[in-house]
Amino acid sequence: MKYLFFCLLLMNAIPLFGRSEVEAINLSLQSIQCEESLLDTEALDHTLDNYRGTIAPLYKRYQATTKEYSRIEAKFIEANIPLFFSLIPYSESKFNPSMHGYGTAGLWQFGKQSAKNFGLTVKKGDDERLDINKSNDAVIRYIKYLKREFGSWYLADLAYAMGEGTLQRLIQKNGSKKISVLFKDPHFPSGAKAHFAKTLLLDAKIHYTQSNEEEKGE
């Protein structure tokens, strides 16, 4: 009986990702100031596993839009914001600047009020959320604001995905800012989990996977 119990513990400890994938994901987490690793966060491990199948088509979209993306990337480098955030358009709109969601629009899927708060015009016939350059400048202002409000880049991204008030309530309710705690909360929005998981996996693949670095050097 004890042997069976030990085997079950061992099986639960086995990560759902290979060593190279884990290393890339951890580097991405470090880039957004998350002090926990993938092996510390079982809830995140399982969340990422749920969305790993979505990354191949998003990566193909990235390969098809590298010229357009490079302009966004350059602005994030200039603004000294982790490149993790420059990939949000893939997880939010599949890099479609004309995308409309439920009250959201553009590459960044800006909500109306957030867009207005950070300098964009949003009215019939003139929706600057659909303007790649203007929305990009606005989102940089927004992300910097969220970083100041929450103190770390990974919390800024979660706030971007679910809204500032929702994240503040989750932190207060759980008494913790750790992903390992927050992701276990049954009220953590599924859309925010999807956003974070897709962006994290894509960032790990593009910016931290060894094979991609070798391809760039050829």
Q: Taking phi first (over 0 means left), then psi (-120 to 50 degrees means alpha), and beta for anything else, what does residue 163 get?
A: left
The predicted pLDDT at position 119 comes to: 94
The predicted pLDDT at position 122 comes to: 94
Structural domain containing residue 186 = 40-96+141-205
The predicted pLDDT at position 40 comes to: 82
Centre a 10 Å sphere on the Cβ of residue 145 and count the other Cβ atoms it contains.
Answer: 16
**The tokens of 48 are what?**
């990422």
Using DSSP, state whether 92 is helix, strand or coil.
Answer: helix
Q: Give the bridge partners for 110, in sequence order.
A: 105
Task: Tell me, yes or no, whether 16 lies in a domain.
Answer: no
CB 43 within 8 A of CB 195: no
Consecutive 10-residue averages of pLDDT for the chain (218 residues): 39 52 94 92 89 94 96 97 98 95 93 94 93 96 98 98 97 97 96 96 92 46
Task: Tell me, yes or no, whether 75 lies in a domain.
Answer: yes
Task: Tell me, yes or no, whether 23 lies in a domain.
Answer: no
Extract the runs of DSSP E, i.e. beta strands, from the chain: 104-105, 110-111, 122-123, 126-127
Task: Tell me, yes or no, whether 154 lies in a domain.
Answer: yes
